[in-house]
């Protein structure tokens, strides 16, 4: 329960950013999903500690010298389906 409470507490500022701050800024994200969507999913899937760490690492890559692109949260269905299509199937 503590981890769930910590994950929810960590999610509130991210959701506030997405609702009130992000719409006022020009679109400039170089990743898909966006960093805020990535952070919410990472916290939901991995909890506050690991999800927070993954989010911080992602924010560190969000800079002009990184090409960006598709970057799913590790261990999600999107990540596994991408690996499956890259390898040509299940086997």
The string of pLDDT tens digits covering residues 65-75 is 888 889 899 98
Record the pTM. 0.76
Asked if 67 and 29 touch (Cβ cutoff 8 Å), the reply is no
| High-pLDDT (> 90) share of the chain, % | 41
SS3 at position 69: strand
Asked if 71 and 32 touch (Cβ cutoff 8 Å), the reply is yes
| Radius of gyration of the chain measured on its C-alpha atoms | 14
How many residues belong to the chain?
91
pLDDT, tens digit (0-9, with 9 covering 90-100), for 3-14: 688 888 889 999
């Amino acid at each position: 329960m503590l981890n769930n409470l910590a994950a929810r507490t960590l999610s509130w500022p991210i959701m506030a950013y997405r609702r009130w701050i992000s719409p006022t800024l020009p679109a400039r994200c170089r990743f898909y999903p966006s960093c805020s969507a990535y952070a919410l999913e990472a916290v939901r899937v991995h909890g506050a500690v690991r999800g927070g760490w993954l989010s911080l690492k992602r924010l560190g890559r969000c800079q002009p010298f990184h090409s960006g692109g598709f970057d799913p949260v590790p261990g999600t269905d999107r990540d596994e389906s991408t690996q499956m299509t890259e390898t040509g199937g299940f086997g």
